[in-house]
């Protein structure tokens, strides 16, 4: 990587991790600022991961906890907040009336759809800055070194206690 003077040199290994994390944060922070402007000011990154984990079919709180890598109690608190904000609802499971499913409401589906559109715009902005080939090269390189099992929805849990 070239430094600010344009000199080619090897960077310390830890810088790669920080740059990748910084890129992640830049995208997520911009996403949430735009979602707030579009009528979703209460969505937080953890809620976005939870809504992705809930998906279109819905899940139990226990399954949500497993998908997010958090306890059932922590998942339940997240669900409580999503319900309170109107992004999710608890419903009876048609296959087993004893179980409660968490499902996205139309507001939750809207937030996810808007998120996808915003991420597409942010990717296009990166392509303007570093070129479409540069973005594709970053994505291709990361696909080669990041195992498929490393791309999970439990990101929010990585930074927990």
Q: What is the pLDDT of residues 53-95, one digit of tens each?
A: 999 889 999 999 998 888 889 999 999 999 999 999 999 888 8
pLDDT at 154 over 80: no
Residue 83, pLDDT score: 97
Lookup result for tokens 């048609």? 94
What burial class does residue 78 get, using C-beta atoms within 10 Å of its C-beta: 0-12 exposed, 13-18 middle, 19+ buried? buried
Q: Which residues pair with 102 in a beta bridge?
A: 59, 90
Q: How does residue 151 score in pLDDT terms, banded at 50, 70 and 90?
A: low
Task: Tell me the backbone φ, ψ of residue 69, rounded to 5 degrees.
Answer: 75, 35
pLDDT at 161 over 90: no
Q: What is the pLDDT of residues 23-45, one digit of tens each?
A: 999 999 999 999 999 999 999 99
């Amino acid at each position: 990587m070239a430094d600010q003077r344009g000199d080619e040199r090897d960077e310390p290994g830890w810088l790669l991790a920080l740059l990748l994390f910084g890129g992640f944060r830049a995208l997520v922070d911009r996403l949430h600022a735009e979602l707030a402007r579009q009528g979703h000011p209460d969505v937080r990154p953890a809620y976005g991961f939870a809504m992705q984990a809930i998906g279109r079919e819905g899940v139990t709180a226990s399954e949500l906890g497993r998908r997010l890598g958090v306890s059932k109690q922590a998942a339940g608190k997240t669900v409580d907040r999503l319900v309170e904000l109107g992004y999710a609802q608890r419903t009876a499971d048609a296959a087993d009336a004893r179980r409660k499913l968490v499902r996205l409401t139309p507001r939750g589906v809207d937030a996810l759809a808007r998120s996808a559109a915003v991420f597409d715009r942010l990717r296009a902005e990166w392509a303007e800055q570093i070129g479409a080939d540069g973005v594709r090269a970053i994505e291709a390189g990361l696909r080669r070194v990041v195992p498929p099992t490393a791309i999970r929805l439990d990101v929010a849990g990585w930074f927990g206690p």
